[in-house]
């Protein structure tokens, strides 16, 4: 009888230990952004990225540019995105970051620019302040507006509110980046989305520098 109790007790301790170890392992398990970052640093990068059919094909020329000129850009295929959206992954040569750069056409002359930046070491996803790109005449110099009054003014003209911007961000991050990567590499999308909760989100979407503009050609 005593031996049976000891066996049950020992079995209970072992089960508890396995649960704790499993929890610690799962809590440290990487998310899709970690996987994308690590893929870009591996020799098999070409094969890994080309497994995602929604991404433009990555060539050795792309990878050479990354090594020699300081940044790797991989756009998503236009036919795989909602109308008016453009999205690309960008890997700066310096630092441990991935950037998601995107723009959404509001009309023929105006785009809202949405950037996100993931810090691999800190596991921080920063939602950068949005800004407006305005091109009134084709072929002439355009202007980027970063201040709150101008940005909100353009958005209000198109009847776009802060909630709409949040929906754009969620579409870009989850439906485009997380979902396509997870599906292409045999991972359940809902689990992949859940893992994103393991990183810290820093929301600077509407933290605008005041009275800042820049001209672009």
pTM for the full model? 0.81
Q: Is the pLDDT of residue 215 over 90?
A: no
Tokens 């700066």: give the residue.
Answer: 92
Q: Please, which residues have CB within 8 angstroms of residue 97's CB and are 6 or more apart in sequence? A: 37, 91, 117, 118, 119, 120
pLDDT at 65 (0 to 100): 60
Q: What average pLDDT score do residues 171-199 get?
A: 96
pLDDT band of 66, cuts 50, 70, 90: low
Please write the tens of the pLDDT for every residue from 153-182.
999 999 999 999 999 999 999 999 999 999
- 214 falls in which pLDDT band (50, 70, 90)? low
In this structure, are residues 66 and 94 in contact, taking their beta carbons and an 8 Å threshold? no
Which of these ranges, 11-20, 165-174, 180-189, has the smallest mean pLDDT?
Answer: 11-20
């Amino acid at each position: 009888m005593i031996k049976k109790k000891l066996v049950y007790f020992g079995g209970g301790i072992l089960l508890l230990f396995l649960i704790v170890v499993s929890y610690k392992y799962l809590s440290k398990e990487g998310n899709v952004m970690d996987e994308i970052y690590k893929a870009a640093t591996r020799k098999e990068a070409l094969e890994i990225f080309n497994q995602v059919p929604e991404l433009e094909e990555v060539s050795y020329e792309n990878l050479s540019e990354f090594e020699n000129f300081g940044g790797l850009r991989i756009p998503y295929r236009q036919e795989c995105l909602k109308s008016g959206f453009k999205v690309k992954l960008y890997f700066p040569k310096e630092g441990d970051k991935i950037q998601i750069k995107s723009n959404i056409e509001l009309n023929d002359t105006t785009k809202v620019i949405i950037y996100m930046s993931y810090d691999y070491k800190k596991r921080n996803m920063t939602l950068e302040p949005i800004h407006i790109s305005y091109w009134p005449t084709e072929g002439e110099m355009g202007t980027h507006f970063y201040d709150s009054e101008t940005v909100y003014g353009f958005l209000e003209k198109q009847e776009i509110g802060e909630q709409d911007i949040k929906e754009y961000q969620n579409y870009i991050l989850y439906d485009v980046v997380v979902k396509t990567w997870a599906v292409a590499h045999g991972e359940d999308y809902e689990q992949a989305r859940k893992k994103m909760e393991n990183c810290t989100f820093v929301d600077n979407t509407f933290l605008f520098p005041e009275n800042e503009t820049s001209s672009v050609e």
